[in-house]
Each structure stands twice: as C-alpha cells, then as structure tokens.
C-alpha cells in the first residue's frame, strides 16, 4: 500500500466550517460580505458562529502559500546573493564557485557525457524561469563583470529548460530550492546553441571538450556588458 492509498483511506472528521455571507446594500452599491467560523462537535453539529479575524485569515493564507507554492524557508545559504520571496515578486540569485560538473549531451553534438571543468556560475530564478551568467574568480562582488555562460541551451542568459521531469519540492529550505534548480539545468541534455550564437570566442564544442581534462580557459568567455550589481535589482 503506497502513501497516496493510505491517505485516501484515512477517515477525515470535520472540525469547523467557514461560512461566507453576502447582502446587497440599500443603494445597490458594492455588496457587503461577512465571514463566520463555526466549530463542529463530535456529533457533527455546528456550534455558535464567531467572526473570522484578520489574524486567522493571514495565518490561513500564509500556511497555504508556504505549503502549496513551494516558497523556500529556513537559513539562507552563504552563496545566496539576493532573496525576495514576496508573492508576485519572487526572485532568487546565488552563485557556485568554479568546479567540476557532470554534463550530458544529445548525440547530435558528438560530445560524450562526462565531467567537465566550468567557471563560476551565477543563477537567477524568477517565477518559473532561469538565467545564468559566468564570472571570473571564486566569490562575485557587486562590481564583478558578468560573461555569457559557456554552455549549450542558453540564449544570452536565458536557459531553455525543456520538459523537465524533475518534481518541484513543495516544502523545502533554501538549499533544497537551489539544488532543485541547479539539477534542472545540469541534469538536462545539452542539445543546441541558444539563438544559434556561439557564447565563447572559439567553437563551443572545442571549448567544452578541452575543459574535460583541463581547467576552464577563461580567455574564451565573452563579456555580457553587465556587472553583478546590474542584476541585483
């Protein structure tokens, strides 16, 4: 018996009813509304109604937002550069220092899957979209120059995420949030030049193959014309 079956078979007991009332005003202007909460006893009968407070509604909506919309929470990782979890304004920016990454490629590129050296990467996630930038060094500062990410599937800074089968966590901390988005990029198959434009000074296939056994060649990076401070808005 799986977890979903267990939940379906559980018996749920009503604890309270939220009732909404509406009445038209005498001058037929905007209707008046009233919310009432009625507790339900063991025999299934509703008790006396009490007015719903702002504190109750704020608590209810806050719980729903965090539990169902995947808003991250908890300690902010040291590599997080910007964190804005406000509803409708969600924006998260963080970085990875230079490191080795496992990369996967479609057969049309004639690159064998493997581990490659990559430069420092800055991730920008807004709503359900991702941008990435490259930078030189290990820890970016506000005046750090940004470069085009030297990867396939990226147009300018915009990442083509494709049809990812990775399930988005609904209740996670910031580290789990970062891990989810990084996996969406690194576990996808690289397949094409974004915008049919080479993001490196030499052929991107050659640059990628060279980074398999050697440190990434920073002279191959093309400047984007932006600094870190320009995206921290």
8 Å CB contact between 135 and 226: no
SS3 label, residue 209: helix
8 Å CB contact between 219 and 207: no
pTM to 2 decimals?
Answer: 0.72
pLDDT at res. 5: 53
Question: Residues 30-71: pLDDT tens digits?
Answer: 667 778 888 888 887 888 888 877 677 666 666 555 545 678
CA nearest to 132, candidates 179, 60, 182: 182
Q: Residue 206's CB: how many other CB atoms inside 10 A?
A: 11
Task: Please give the sequence-ordered ranges of beta strands (E in DSSP) within 40-144, or none if there are none.
Answer: 50-51, 80-84, 91-96, 99-105, 114-118, 120-126, 129-135
User: In whole angstroms, what is the distance from residue 135 CA to residue 147 CA?
Assistant: 6
Question: Which residues of the chain have a pLDDT value below 70?
Answer: 1-10, 25-31, 54, 57-69, 163-164
Output the DSSP codes for 128-170: TEEEEEEESSSS--TTPEEE---STTEETTEE---S--PPPPS
8 Å CB contact between 141 and 147: no
Question: Residues 166-186: pLDDT tens digits?
Answer: 888 888 999 999 999 999 999
pLDDT at res. 39: 85
User: In whole angstroms, what is the distance from residue 223 CA to residue 132 CA?
Assistant: 13
CA nearest to 185, candidates 213, 207, 157, 218: 157
* φ, ψ of residue 229 in degrees (nearest 5): -60, -25
Matching residue, tokens 């909460």: 37
User: In whole angstroms, what is the distance from residue 96 CA to residue 110 CA?
Assistant: 27
R_g (Cα) of the chain, nearest Å? 25
C-alpha distances out from residue 156 to 46, 58, 79, 95, 204, Å: 60, 40, 23, 18, 14
User: In whole angstroms, what is the distance from residue 108 CA to residue 206 CA?
Assistant: 15
pLDDT at res. 41: 85
């Amino acid at each position: 018996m799986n977890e979903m079956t267990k939940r379906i078979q559980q018996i749920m007991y009503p604890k309270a009813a939220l009732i909404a009332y509406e009445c038209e005003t005498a001058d037929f202007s905007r209707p008046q509304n009233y919310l009432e909460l009625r507790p339900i006893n063991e025999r299934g009968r509703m008790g006396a109604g009490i007015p719903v407070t702002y504190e109750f509604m704020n608590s209810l909506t806050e719980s729903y937002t965090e539990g169902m919309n995947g808003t991250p929470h908890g300690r902010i990782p040291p590599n997080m550069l910007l964190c804005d979890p406000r509803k409708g304004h969600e924006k998260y920016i963080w970085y990875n220092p230079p490191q080795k990454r496992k990369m996967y490629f479609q057969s049309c590129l004639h690159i064998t899957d493997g581990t490659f050296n990559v430069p420092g990467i800055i991730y920008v996630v807004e709503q359900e979209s991702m941008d990435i930038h490259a930078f030189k060094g290990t820890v970016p500062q506000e005046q750090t120059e940004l470069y085009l990410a030297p990867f396939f599937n990226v147009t300018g800074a915009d990442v083509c995420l494709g049809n990812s089968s990775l399930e988005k966590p609904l209740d996670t901390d910031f580290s789990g949030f970062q891990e989810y988005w990084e996996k969406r990029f690194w576990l996808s198959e690289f397949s094409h030049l974004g915008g049919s434009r080479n993001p490196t000074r030499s052929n991107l296939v050659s640059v990628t193959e060279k980074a398999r056994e050697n440190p990434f060649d920073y002279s191959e990076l093309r400047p984007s014309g932006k600094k870190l401070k320009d995206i921290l808005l």
